Structure 1
Amino acid sequence: MAPTPYPGVAAARPNRMDALAVFLIGFAVFTMSMHVLRPGPVNVTVSDAAIGGCMIALMLRHRINATPFARSTFFWCFGLTLMLGGLLVSSIANGDPLRWIIIAGQYAFAWLLLPMVFFSLSSGQMRRCMLWFVYGVAASQAFALAISAFLPVSTLKSLFGPGFLAGNGRLGALTGESNWNGAVIAFALPMLISCLHYKLIGRISAAICTVFLGWGLIACASFTGFGAALLAVMITLGLSNPRRLFKIGLPLAGLVIGYLVSGLPLPAIFQQRVAGALTSGDLSSAGTFEGRAMLIAEAWKLSEQTIFLGFGADRYREVSEFGAPVHQFLLLILTEGGAVALAGLLVMLSILWVIALKSLKIDRQGGATAVAVLTVFCIFTTAVPHMYTRLWIGPVLMALAAVGRVQQRWAVAERPRNPGGENWL
């Protein structure tokens, strides 16, 4: 009998409920980036439903990890309480408490229950979850690129929503929004490098995934996504093995930049929104940078009024002269929940960084992936409003749990591998 990877798991032999939990989490991470797969406008996706089912299965087996961040769990919960508490008080004073209930439920699921689920599985299982996340993102690009070649934009919008393929040609794929699509691709690329390192995927399969991820990254024409993806790959290669950075990373970056400045063919929308800004150095031509900068400047000015009490959950758009939420996560929390809510968010972000940097000592490759994925997350805090949708925090938690020592005594036992092949998860 093969030894189990964690001492505390030896007595817990896998059963059907364990197998169900593992299957559900695999399906959940495969579809995590596919935000259009939800019933109507409700922000509950098929991935969320699978995560909920996995949680129930783990609870029935008494294997749910209630302390996913070990001793830091108390501070994590304290930070989440501060953030949601600040939003609650501000909503009662200035906003709509009913709207707070919806937003608080979304954050509680994403930032509290999701880590409990991920850290209830072994690090080996979470590495394979990263692989299935990569497969899901690549499949989303492949499907979108293929179907958009045959169906008109009007039909695609009626089937998958307006963000699947924008009128200007930007690809949102099954993520449903082009910038979000750039984000999940940026998350997937360092994960793909990690899976290749752990030999969870063959070189041919990795090359096919890279083609679709790269094609999708160009087609979504997200300046933030492109920059985050390039930086994430450099971080993964540099922190895991500096020699790979010089042998692979820098030549690859040079090849990409050389192609951009050479004037060779590129999709018009990518040339307009990304390549032009990179080659000229003029960020004002990078997509909607100018509009976002105006919103950020407005939010910074309004934050003088929201130190003690914010405008309330989801109310920034009502007080803004532009009628839209500021696309800067930290400023949005400050203006809607006050300084207390912002302090809570900063506590949680600090915990994520401490765990990611410490993970470099446990597993160099896994730690490098965690740092790269967290870097992408932090980059996008400057480009999006509320971040309770699971495709944001989910990849970060996945990468951290793939390194983890925290879940040792909780992890669901892994099934022995079949002599003729490897189990899917």
Structure 2
Amino acid sequence: MLTATEQRGLGLEIGGRPLPPAAYAPDGFATIYSAARWIVLIACFFLSWQLVRIPALNFTLSDGAFILALVALLLAGRLNPAFFGRLTSLWMVGVLMLIGGLFVGSIVHDQTLRWSIVASQYLIVFLFVPLVLTSFDRDFLGKATLAFTYGVATSQVLGIIALKWFGYDAVVPYVGRTVVRGNDRIGAMTAEPNANGAVCVFALVFLVLAMIDRRIHPFLGALIAAIVGAGLLFSASFTSLLALAASLGLIGILTWSNGFKSIGMPLLVIAVLYIGLGGPLPQIFVERVAEAVVGLDLSKAGTFAGRSALIAEAWTLADPHLLIGMGVDKFREASIHGAPVHNLALLLLNEGGAISLIGLTTLLLCLFSASIMVGRTDHVGGAACFAVLVVILLYTMSLPHMYARHWFGPVVLTFSFYMATKRLPFSPHPTSQDVHSPHGPGLQPGSVPK
């Protein structure tokens, strides 16, 4: 058994404290830990499937799998408490401020029950999911990102089949206006077109990164990219198109010499040729997105004008609620439009006061800091973290509450992957090469054996 001094010398620490023996040596709970790995892969596969849930609680199949994995990791003694390395404490402060501000406003305005549901949603994505994901090594998390991507691709296949083979009228009696909308936009298994567009963006980013790292066969990657790309077009989301261009553009600039040119250029050439030769595009995409881009007229990009009015109203309503917010879901009641403002920061400012807004800002600053720390020694990893951060920032400026796990879940998955150490062998005496993270001890999440 290694002493505490020897563990520190090898970098076997969590938050400055030596790792427990179970973190680097085999134990009697290997079967439970192995089961937890499969459960996490299932959770990531269904992470985007918001339709498969208990509606009243917004509790999804993926949520259940993550919680089951959390219990398994606890039983196996493999849970990583310092999931964000040196930023863990600050991250927790941000989470507590975000839900705490909402709690104060909800208590004052008699919205306690609704707060409990919303708070549990935020805790799952900001606490439970990172606790689980960072308890695994980088090799496994690479498989988890691909599991998420395959889940998104499967969802798009089902959505497109529902639209083209059955149609809105045949589908809506069974699943409502979720998989397919009346204007031929698809929400697929994510159940809403804008959200579906977002998970397609994350999946495409994961695919490009996997191809750069050679974690997926190029032909399989191209096939999955085509399926997910088709789903993105049928989602007809202007924000998603903008997020895709911004994220892949950033990755391209920062990783051009690290392999992106061999991936990005062929994809760009194929896309240009397809559009230039008049390849078919979904009519709803042409009407809702392409015309807005070509004509530089954002009023054609969905409900842009209505969202602008809500944002202007939110600034006015925020003044008397800076210290104590309205409470969860109270903005729609106060608004003359009867809808929540499509801007997460402004919604939190109104419903949770300045405390909740500072909490959200703290979380985003943690992600920004982590991106810099990863990027110091891993250009591809830094580019990936910055790219998904840009994506989520764009969506926070265009959506209300984002507690559904398909929003921040892929972001947490990305950072968990690039902050993780390499796989540790089943040995009571691991080598320094095995346990040292390329990002330095401050970012080590306490990786565990495969």
Q: Normalization by structure 2: what TM-score?
A: 0.85
Provide the residue aligned with 1:105 in structure 2. Answer: 120
Q: How does 1:218-237 map to 2 (within 5 A)?
A: 218-237=233-252
Letter of the structure 2 residue corresponding to residue 15 of structure 1? A
Letter of the structure 2 residue corresponding to residue 64 of structure 1? L
Provide the residue aligned with 1:419 in structure 2. Answer: none
Tell me the CA shift for residue 207 of structure 1. Answer: 0.8
Q: How does 1:215-364 map to 2 (within 5 A)?
A: 215-242=230-257, 249=264, 256=271, 265-364=280-379
Tell me the CA shift for residue 172 of structure 1. Answer: 0.6
Letter of the structure 2 residue corresponding to residue 12 of structure 1? P
Deviations for 1:271-329, whole angstroms, at most 9, x for unmatched residues?
11100011011111111111111111111121122211211111111101111111100
Q: Aligned with 2:178: secondary structure?
A: coil
Provide the residue aligned with 2:425 in structure 1. Answer: none
Provide the residue aligned with 2:48 in structure 1. Answer: 33
Tell me the CA shift for residue 72 of structure 1. Answer: 1.5
Letter of the structure 2 residue corresponding to residue 143 of structure 1? L
Tell me the CA shift for residue 181 of structure 1. Answer: 0.4
Which of 12, 17, 26 lines up with 1:12 in the alignment? 26
Matched, 1:194 2:209: yes
Provide the residue aligned with 2:81 in structure 1. Answer: 66
Provide the residue aligned with 1:93 in structure 2. Answer: 108
Matched, 1:176 2:212: no
Contact 2:292 2:301 in 1 (8 A): yes
Q: Aligned with 2:53: secondary structure?
A: coil
Contact 2:237 2:289 in 1 (8 A): yes
Structure 1 residues 264 and 411: CA distance shift in structure 2, 3 A: closer
Tell me the CA shift for residue 173 of structure 1. Answer: 0.5
Deviations for 1:32-62, whole angstroms, at most 9, x for unmatched residues?
0011011344311111110011000000011
Structure 1 residues 86 and 259: CA distance shift in structure 2, 3 A: same
Tell me the CA shift for residue 265 of structure 1. Answer: 4.0
Contact 1:95 1:311 in 2 (8 A): no
Tell me the CA shift for residue 263 of structure 1. Answer: 6.7
Structure 1 residues 64 and 268: CA distance shift in structure 2, 3 A: same
Contact 1:260 1:279 in 2 (8 A): no
Percentage identity across paired residues of the two chains? 36
Q: How does 1:124-135 map to 2 (within 5 A)?
A: 124-135=139-150
Letter of the structure 1 residue corresponding to residue 365 of structure 2? S
Provide the residue aligned with 2:446 in structure 1. Answer: 410
Distance 1:315 1:282 in 2: 32
Letter of the structure 2 residue corresponding to residue 47 of structure 1? S
Query: Would you say how many aligned residue pairs link Structure 1 and Structure 2?
Result: 410
Provide the residue aligned with 2:381 in structure 1. Answer: 366
Structure 1 residues 253 and 274: CA distance shift in structure 2, 3 A: farther
Contact 1:161 1:176 in 2 (8 A): no
Provide the residue aligned with 1:423 in structure 2. Answer: none
Contact 1:76 1:351 in 2 (8 A): yes
Matched, 1:115 2:130: yes
Distance 1:321 1:257 in 2: 44
Distance 1:303 1:263 in 2: 48
Which of 160, 163, 170 lines up with 1:145 in the alignment? 160
Contact 1:170 1:219 in 2 (8 A): yes
Deviations for 1:210-246, whole angstroms, at most 9, x for unmatched residues?
1101111111100001111122112222222357666
Q: Aligned with 1:201: secondary structure?
A: coil
Matched, 1:167 2:182: yes
Structure 1 residues 51 and 243: CA distance shift in structure 2, 3 A: closer
Q: Aligned Cα RMSD in Å?
A: 2.3
Q: Aligned with 1:325: secondary structure?
A: coil
Contact 1:261 1:279 in 2 (8 A): no
Contact 1:360 1:367 in 2 (8 A): yes
Q: Aligned with 2:166: secondary structure?
A: coil
Deviations for 1:173-215, whole angstroms, at most 9, x for unmatched residues?
1100000000001111111111112222101110110110111
Structure 1 residues 296 and 92: CA distance shift in structure 2, 3 A: same
Moved more, 21-30 or 85-94: 85-94
* Structure 2 unpaired stretches of 5+: 1-9, 13-18, 421-441
Contact 1:18 1:58 in 2 (8 A): yes
Deviations for 1:13-47, whole angstroms, at most 9, x for unmatched residues?
68211111100000000010011011344311111
Tell me the CA shift for residue 249 of structure 1. Answer: 4.2
Structure 1 residues 382 and 18: CA distance shift in structure 2, 3 A: same
Q: Aligned with 1:67: secondary structure?
A: coil
Structure 1 residues 281 and 44: CA distance shift in structure 2, 3 A: same
Contact 1:277 1:283 in 2 (8 A): yes
Matched, 1:391 2:426: no
Q: Aligned with 1:241: secondary structure?
A: helix
Q: Normalization by structure 1: what TM-score?
A: 0.90
Provide the residue aligned with 2:70 in structure 1. Answer: 55
Moved more, 42-51 or 259-268: 259-268
Tell me the CA shift for residue 391 of structure 1. Answer: 0.8
Tell me the CA shift for residue 101 of structure 1. Answer: 1.3
Q: Aligned with 1:322: secondary structure?
A: coil
Q: Aligned with 1:312: secondary structure?
A: coil
Moved more, 96-105 or 8-17: 8-17
Q: Aligned with 2:200: secondary structure?
A: helix
